[in-house]
Structure 1
Amino acid sequence: MNAVVLSLDAELAWGYHDLEEIPEHVESARTSWSRLVALFDEFNVPATWAVVGHLFLESCDGTHANHPGPRDDWFDRDPGGVGKQHPLWFNDGLIDAIVDADANHELGCHTFSHVEFGDEQTDREVAVAEARAGLEVADDAGYTLQSFVFPRNNIGHRDVLAAYGFTCYRGERPELWYDGSRFDSLGKFIDLTVSKTNPSLVEPELDEYGLVNIPASMFLFGYEGRARTITERLWDDPLTRSAKRGIDRAADADEGVFHLWMHPNNFTEERDFERLRTILEHLAERRDEARIQVRTMGDIASEIRGTDPATKRTPIGPR
């Protein structure tokens, strides 16, 4: 297959609750989320929205006493209450906006409370609780989930995902020539502005647990601030150019997937939305030329596994 997949880590404040500080830009995350839904609709481009499970709740007690966390203070920042009181901790209509959109989006799982499955503090009991709760709250809200995105791309406990009926996950980006070197930042700059290496096309494949690994090709952010401003003055936005090259490469290939990912929280300036608008416009042109398909993670998994993507699975795993 040759296709483009877009996936989003939809987490609001939950993406930062375990860190020292929650960034100020999270205050605008709900607006960014809504604008992205409208932007995808404008170009009729579907995406996989991997949502933190807690956002499916309409209210909570803030303690989650029966839900184990990787640390004793895991839920200390959860304010509890209801969505209208604490809109950055509950979705309060944002998930319905995804489902009701004109673009045929997929809802996926981003754990229940943004636990890193690959962290050494995350034992199997915590992973089971996070997978099960993520599915249960979505099921209670009337949604089934089959795709999984690991918080901070920290992969672990894949056997738990398989046991609970997930079909696929976003895997690690293929290694680039500068990864792990002392000159990682310089290498990234050279890659984006001078050498112009094409982003990786990936080949989704079944892993040993029967899950489809759909690796990432490219993160839409990570080259921002002053460096981005200077580069744009000299050339143009290197990440826009790189994403367009990835789309063209997928369109010209006999097979391969270009998998672009992002967070709604990343969109903090008008130029961020313009970056995505330019990419979606380019993608829509290639799609309308019948050169590329735009698929969700669930679509890809269904094709690899030879199942009908419309088939409903049991949303809750073993108890």
Structure 2
Amino acid sequence: MVAAVGSVVLSLDAELGWGFHDLPEPPTDRVESGRRGWTAMLELLEEFDIPATWAVVGHLMLESCDGVHADHPAPDGWFDRERGEWQDREDLRFGRGLVRDLLESDVDHEFASHTFSHVLFGRPETDRELAVAELERSAAIAEEWGCSFESFIYPRNDVGHRDVLAEHGVSAYRGWTPNREGVRAVFDSMVRDRSLLVEPFVDEYGLVNVPASLFLFGFEGPARSVAESIWEDPMVALARCGIDEATTSDGTFHMWLHPNNLTTERDDRRMRAILSYLDRRRSDSDLVVETMADVARRIRCSRGVDGEPTRIDAQAKASWN
């Protein structure tokens, strides 16, 4: 293990409507909760001064568009919902104010990429041309805002075209770890005592893979209600286990979620419990809270390669309005 002390990483897939636009029946509660959850998470992270990696869909940063994207090599019908059912739902298609709030936060969050339009990189129909277009459009929009990104989070954790990421200057991505959510995660950790820690590593393309440890909203519905009635929120218990393990081991505990997972105050309470516990453990141990870019920099430096932090050009902030 590279780390000298344990660390915790929190990453968020910030997408609003783009996370669901290709689904036949998008989940209404989550579609409508994207903006609320985004703001709630920013406020909670500021309250506990916890930096996170926010992977933002590039389209959210546009001021407007015609919904056609004629020069984009997407599959036929990819933008149908934007120019049809959601044509008048700018709140789902754009999020400049939310992105501005993120970049202006007092907490040193990492700005990362979640593609331009939530294209699934691992699908057969996503060819190299499309992957390049998604990445280049995201980078160009970020540059207009005075931003750049080192880290990349694959929509729906559908990994693919890592060579394209490497060629376009990406340093890190969130790799997918099977069986790290839902009932299976609870069983493996609580019953089989399986570790929740992961070991980031440099892959064959020179990218740092920061694998996911735990999806924080993988135990929902009736099962969650039953568990809470006889015990406690199982995801809070799992998160505490991972945080505790990171305080005593040279490993990384990588939690992740979508802002749209926070659909009610009940979900807010889950995140408050996790973040407050992380803050306490950070205060009474050597535990370090890192972003994905921090992890990549640490590992690259251990290999004799310097990493540069993601920077925001203050002079560009005037253009955000």
- TM normalised by structure 2 equals 0.89
> Are the counterparts in 2 of residues 196 and 242 from structure 1 also a CA contact under 8 Å?
no
Q: Which residue of 2 aligns with 1:158?
A: 162
| Structure 2 CA distance for partners of 1:188 and 1:208, relative to 1, 3 Å | closer
Q: Which residue of 2 aligns with 1:269?
A: 264
Shift of 1:190: 3.9
Q: Which residue of 2 aligns with 1:125?
A: 129
Residue 50 of structure 1 aligns to a residue whose secondary structure is strand
Range with greater deviation from structure 2 (194-203 or 54-63): 194-203
> Are the counterparts in 2 of residues 199 and 242 from structure 1 also a CA contact under 8 Å?
no
CA distance in 1 between partners of 2:45 and 2:122 (Å) = 31
Deviation by residue 1:237-276 (Cα, 9 ceiling, x = unmatched): 11100010000001101x1100000000111121111111
Amino acid corresponding to residue 35 of structure 2 in structure 1: R
| Among 191, 194, 200, the residue aligned to 2:196 | 200
What is the alpha-carbon root mean square deviation over aligned residues? 2.2
| Structure 2 CA distance for partners of 1:153 and 1:143, relative to 1, 3 Å | same
Shift of 1:189: 5.9
| Among 202, 217, 220, the residue aligned to 1:224 | 220
> Are the counterparts in 2 of residues 202 and 215 from structure 1 also a CA contact under 8 Å?
yes
> Are the counterparts in 2 of residues 109 and 149 from structure 1 also a CA contact under 8 Å?
yes
Asked if 1:63 is matched to 2:68, the reply is yes
- TM normalised by structure 1 equals 0.89
Amino acid corresponding to residue 239 of structure 1 in structure 2: M
Amino acid corresponding to residue 96 of structure 2 in structure 1: D
| Structure 2 CA distance for partners of 1:104 and 1:206, relative to 1, 3 Å | same
Residues paired across the two proteins, number: 302
CA distance in 2 between partners of 1:38 and 1:29 (Å) = 14
> Are the counterparts in 2 of residues 244 and 282 from structure 1 also a CA contact under 8 Å?
yes
Deviation by residue 1:23-57 (Cα, 9 ceiling, x = unmatched): 21211210111111000000000000001111111
| Structure 2 CA distance for partners of 1:34 and 1:232, relative to 1, 3 Å | same
Shift of 1:309: 3.7
> Are the counterparts in 2 of residues 51 and 109 from structure 1 also a CA contact under 8 Å?
yes
| Among 55, 59, 64, the residue aligned to 1:50 | 55
> Are the counterparts in 1 of residues 12 and 55 from structure 2 also a CA contact under 8 Å?
yes
Asked if 1:298 is matched to 2:293, the reply is yes
CA distance in 2 between partners of 1:20 and 1:120 (Å) = 19
Residue 93 of structure 1 aligns to a residue whose secondary structure is helix
Asked if 1:144 is matched to 2:154, the reply is no
CA distance in 2 between partners of 1:35 and 1:312 (Å) = 24
CA distance in 1 between partners of 2:195 and 2:258 (Å) = 19
Deviation by residue 1:65-92 (Cα, 9 ceiling, x = unmatched): 00111x2000111249xx9961111013
Deviation by residue 1:206-260 (Cα, 9 ceiling, x = unmatched): 111111000000000121111110111011111100010000001101x110000
CA distance in 2 between partners of 1:185 and 1:208 (Å) = 30
CA distance in 2 between partners of 1:17 and 1:312 (Å) = 31
Residue 81 of structure 2 aligns to a residue whose secondary structure is coil
| Among 251, 256, 265, the residue aligned to 1:256 | 251
> Are the counterparts in 2 of residues 299 and 309 from structure 1 also a CA contact under 8 Å?
no
CA distance in 2 between partners of 1:91 and 1:161 (Å) = 24
| Among 96, 99, 103, the residue aligned to 2:103 | 99
Q: Which runs of 5+ in 1 are unaligned?
A: 314-319
| Among 12, 29, 33, the residue aligned to 1:28 | 33
Question: Relative to total residues, which structure has the larger helix share, 1 or 2?
Answer: 2
> Are the counterparts in 2 of residues 14 and 89 from structure 1 also a CA contact under 8 Å?
yes
Deviation by residue 1:130-164 (Cα, 9 ceiling, x = unmatched): 11111111111221111000011010000000011
CA distance in 2 between partners of 1:102 and 1:151 (Å) = 27
CA distance in 2 between partners of 1:149 and 1:215 (Å) = 11
CA distance in 1 between partners of 2:197 and 2:182 (Å) = 22
Amino acid corresponding to residue 208 of structure 2 in structure 1: V
Shift of 1:103: 1.3
CA distance in 2 between partners of 1:199 and 1:111 (Å) = 31
